[in-house]
């Protein structure tokens, strides 16, 4: 049902003053985490991805965002609350030539509250359970740790329930009391008389600050907030194949909730160190360069190719040219917990010998003179043939 929707700002993890750039960054981060391609057949992630897209569609559009900020879901979804007879906002159907009707709202008070900043006449319970904040941290991995997976320790700072007052905010032996001005609702209704009649507006209670309760003797440990900031160490499992720039989530390791609400999530931004031999491309493929001698390339050779699982023997055919790329299937990086893996590619470079002595130079010249230019140097001959044809 539409009434069960989560606040769009909460969905993206941004506050109501977030800039357009902040919203874009938050959307990209969340979309990477829950994209269906990364979680096949996961209905929960699919639903979250749809929810993220819906929130971004509204908050990234200045006009839609303004309506949402003022009217809530009713400002952007004409069908919101239709089951309860609200009728939506479509075309402001609640107006008529004779004055106000109840076609678009529950009544006059609802319209005035919306236009004068009061929002919905139904306010959330200030003492209801609230989810804790999401937190993030950075983690640097060695190249092979990212390829193979590992257990890593991360230090995080989060809000936890105060151990002394157990979240109540009141000192030991005391308790908070219901606000007498708002009777625990956190809001009060103000009625103003105007030339057009008496108008009512619902606003936050000043006595309790909208909390609905008052603490006469605050807890000295948390200063009445019910939570304390704490830095802890956590061991997290890193799946094989995590890549540089990825963000992984750990459910329930964020700040603890308020009034018994669930904890937020921990987001870990991954950085992977480079390797002197291996390079990752296309996320799961490994590339490396293998230098061969002139003789090995010309005659062919059995060589050891280094992979992330150790050396693999490979027969390089005779006449291998510089820049030739060979592919070994399934020798790349494992894709998470699936049996699928990337490939290993190695590119050939030819190392031309230096510092030859006189005898070696003479032998090389004899070898060169023994070659058939057209047969043994086809690429070179073709080049010069084309050159001659061009300048005829």
Most confident of 62-71, 75-84, 157-166, 182-191: 157-166
Q: Do domains 131-166+220-273 and 279-352 have the same CATH topology?
A: yes
Can you give the pLDDT at residue 98? 35
Give the residue-averaged pLDDT of 343-347: 97
CA 74 → CA 3, 67, 339, 386, distances in Å?
A: 10, 9, 47, 73
Most confident of 29-43, 147-161, 367-381: 147-161
**Global pTM value:** 0.60
Can you give the pLDDT at residue 223? 92
Of all residues in the chain, the percent with pLDDT exceeding 70 is: 83
Give the residue-averaged pLDDT of 302-314: 96
C-alpha dihedral, 105 to 108 to 114 to 118, nearest 10°: -130
In angstroms, the CA 105 to CA 122 distance is 12
Residue pLDDT, tens place only, 89-101:
333 333 333 333 3
Give the residue-averaged pLDDT of 3-27: 86
Closest by CA position to 126, among listed 18, 214, 17, 256: 214
Strand order in the sheet with 325-328: 279-281, 285-293, 344-351, 325-328
Map residue 199 onto helix, strand or coil. Answer: strand
Rounded to the nearest 5°, which phi and psi values hold at 103?
A: -65, -35
CA 108 → CA 36, 121, 197, 199, distances in Å?
A: 45, 11, 11, 9
pLDDT of 283 > 70? The answer is yes
pLDDT of 261 > 80? The answer is yes
Which residues neighbour 226 within 8 Å (Cβ) at sequence distance 6 or greater? Answer: 161, 162, 165, 167, 168, 169, 219, 258
Can you give the pLDDT at residue 240? 93
Give the residue-averaged pLDDT of 337-350: 93
Count how many Cα atoms sit within 13 Å of the Cα of residue 308 in the half-sphere of its side chain: 28
Can you give the pLDDT at residue 381? 66
- Higher-scoring residue by pLDDT: 30, 74: 30
pLDDT of 118 > 70? The answer is no
pLDDT of 147 > 80? The answer is yes
In angstroms, the CA 253 to CA 240 distance is 21
Q: Are 286 and 143 in contact (CB under 8 A)?
A: no
Residue pLDDT, tens place only, 203-232:
888 888 888 899 999 999 999 999 999 999
Of all residues in the chain, the percent with pLDDT exceeding 90 is: 49
Q: Residue 81 — very low, low, confident or very high, per pLDDT cuts 50/70/90? A: low
Closest by CA position to 221, among listed 168, 295, 294: 168
pLDDT of 87 > 60? The answer is no
Give the residue-averaged pLDDT of 128-157: 94
Domain ranges of the chain: 131-166+220-273, 279-352
- Beta-bridged to residue 139, according to DSSP, are 270
Which CATH number does 131-166+220-273 carry? 2.60.260.20
Q: Are 137 and 232 in contact (CB under 8 A)?
A: no
Which CATH number does 279-352 carry? 2.60.260.20
pLDDT of 290 > 50? The answer is yes
- Higher-scoring residue by pLDDT: 268, 107: 268
DSSP 192: E
Can you give the pLDDT at residue 95? 34
- Give the DSSP per-residue string, 38-75: TSTT-HHHHHHHHHHHHHHHHHTSHHHHHHHHHHGGGG
Can you give the pLDDT at residue 37? 65
């Amino acid at each position: 049902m539409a009434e069960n929707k989560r606040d769009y700002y909460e969905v993206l993890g941004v506050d109501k003053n977030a800039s357009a750039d902040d919203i874009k960054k938050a959307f990209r981060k969340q979309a990477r985490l829950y994209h269906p391609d990364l979680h096949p057949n996961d209905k929960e992630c699919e639903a979250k991805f749809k929810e993220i897209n819906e929130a971004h569609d509204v908050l990234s559009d200045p006009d839609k965002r303004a309506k949402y900020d003022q009217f809530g879901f009713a400002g952007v979804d004409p069908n919101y609350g239709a089951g309860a007879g609200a009728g939506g906002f479509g075309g402001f159907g609640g107006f008529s030539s004779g004055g106000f009707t109840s076609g678009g709202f529950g009544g006059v008070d609802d319209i005035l509250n919306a236009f004068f900043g009061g929002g919905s006449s139904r306010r959330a319970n200030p003492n209801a359970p609230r989810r804790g904040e999401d937190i993030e941290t950075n983690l640097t991995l060695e190249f092979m740790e990212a390829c193979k997976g590992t257990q890593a320790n991360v230090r995080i700072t989060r809000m936890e329930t105060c151990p002394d007052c157990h979240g109540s905010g009141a000192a030991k032996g005391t308790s908070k009391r219901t606000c007498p001005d708002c009777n625990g609702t956190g809001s009060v209704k103000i009625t103003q008389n105007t030339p057009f009649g008496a108008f009512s507006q619902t606003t936050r209670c000043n006595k309790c600050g909208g909390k609905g309760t008052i603490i006469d003797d605050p807890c000295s440990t948390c200063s009445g907030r019910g939570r304390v900031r704490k830095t802890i160490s956590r061991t997290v499992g890193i799946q094989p194949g995590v890549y540089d720039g990825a963000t992984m989530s750990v459910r329930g390791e964020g700040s603890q909730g308020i009034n018994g609400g669930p904890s937020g999530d921990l987001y870990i931004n991954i950085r992977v160190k480079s390797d002197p031999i291996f390079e990752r491309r296309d996320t799961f493929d490994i590339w490396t360069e293998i230098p061969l001698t002139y003789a090995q390339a010309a005659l062919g050779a059995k060589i050891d190719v280094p992979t992330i699982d150790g050396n693999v023997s490979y027969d390089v055919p005779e006449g291998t040219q510089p820049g030739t790329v060979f592919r070994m299937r399934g020798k790349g990086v494992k894709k998470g917990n699936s049996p699928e893996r990337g490939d290993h590619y190695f590119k050939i470079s030819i190392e031309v010998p230096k510092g030859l002595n006189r005898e070696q130079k003479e032998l090389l010249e004899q070898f060169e003179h023994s070659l058939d230019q057209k047969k043994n140097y086809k690429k070179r001959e073709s080049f010069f043939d084309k050159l001659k044809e061009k300048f005829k």
